Amino acid sequence: MTTTEQQIDPKLIKVLEKVSDPEIPVLSIMDMGVVRSAIIEEDLVKVEITPTYSGCPAMDVIGDDIKKALKEAGYNSEIELILAPAWTTDWITPRGRKALEDYGIAAPLSAQADKDALLGNKKIVKCTNCGSTNTRLVSQFGSTACKAQFQCDDCQEPFDYFKCLK
């Protein structure tokens, strides 16, 4: 239960990659790192998912979407929500980070850099529109629990920053 390793049956990877985060549709739940295990036991697939934030309202939808996707692939499934080990932004894959940036959400920085950024000490968050780091924090809380609001002082574009969670 405390392993940080994912255990995903190779046969299921393609199916699970098709399920996306309902609040960030460009991001597959696999790239998000919320699927911790998916194991085929006889005629049942057992899937363990973990929430990004405790109150994340997307989890119920993600669970349903996984069930649906597996059903279409011919599997019955059982979804379990697990809390340990707790999700961290480190589990977002490089492909996931790129998808976030392309979508207009700045990917999470390291823990120390995140602190500096959110306290407004350093200008390090890169604008997703023009790439400038001349950006400023508008609010530590954004449109969803996992994001903060920033604005670029060069191109004036407002954008979301995915907060580091460690």
Partner 1 sequence: MNNNNLYQYILGIADNSLILGQRLGELTGHGPSLETDIACTNMSLDLFGQVRSYYQYAAKIAGDGRTEDDIAMLRKERNYLNVLLVEQPNTDFAYTMARQFLFDVYHFLFLQELQKSKDLTLSAIANKSIKEVSYHQRFSSDWIKRLGDGTEESQKKMQTAIDDLWRFTDELFHQTDADKSMVSEGVGVDVTKLKDTYYKKISDILEESTLKIPESKYFQKGGKQGIHTEHMGYLLTELQYMQRAYPNMEW
Quick one: 12 or 118, whose CB is closer to partner 1? 118
**Residue 10 or 84 having the CB closest to partner 1:** 84
Measured from the CB atom, the residue of 15 and 58 that comes closer to partner 1 is 58
Min dist CB 73 to partner 1, Å, is 29
Q: Give the nearest distance from C-beta 133 to partner 1 in angstroms.
A: 22
Interface contacts to partner 1, rule CB under 8 A: 1, 51, 53-57, 83-87, 118-119, 138-143, 145, 149, 163, 165-166
> Given the complex with partner 1, which of 103 and 141 has the nearer CB atom?
141
Nearest-angstrom CA–CA distance, 136 and 157: 11
Question: Closest distance between partner 1 and the C-beta of residue 131, in Å?
Answer: 25
Comparing CB distances to partner 1, the nearer of 17 and 53 is 53
- Rounded to a whole number of angstroms, the minimum distance from the CB of residue 149 to partner 1 is 7
Q: Is 135 exposed, middle or buried (0-12, 13-18, 19+ CB in 10 A)?
A: buried
**Upper half-sphere CA count for residue 99 (Cβ side, 13 Å):** 16
Nearest distance in Å: CB 19, partner 1: 21
Q: Which residue has the tokens 């200008």?
A: 123
Amino acid at 59: M
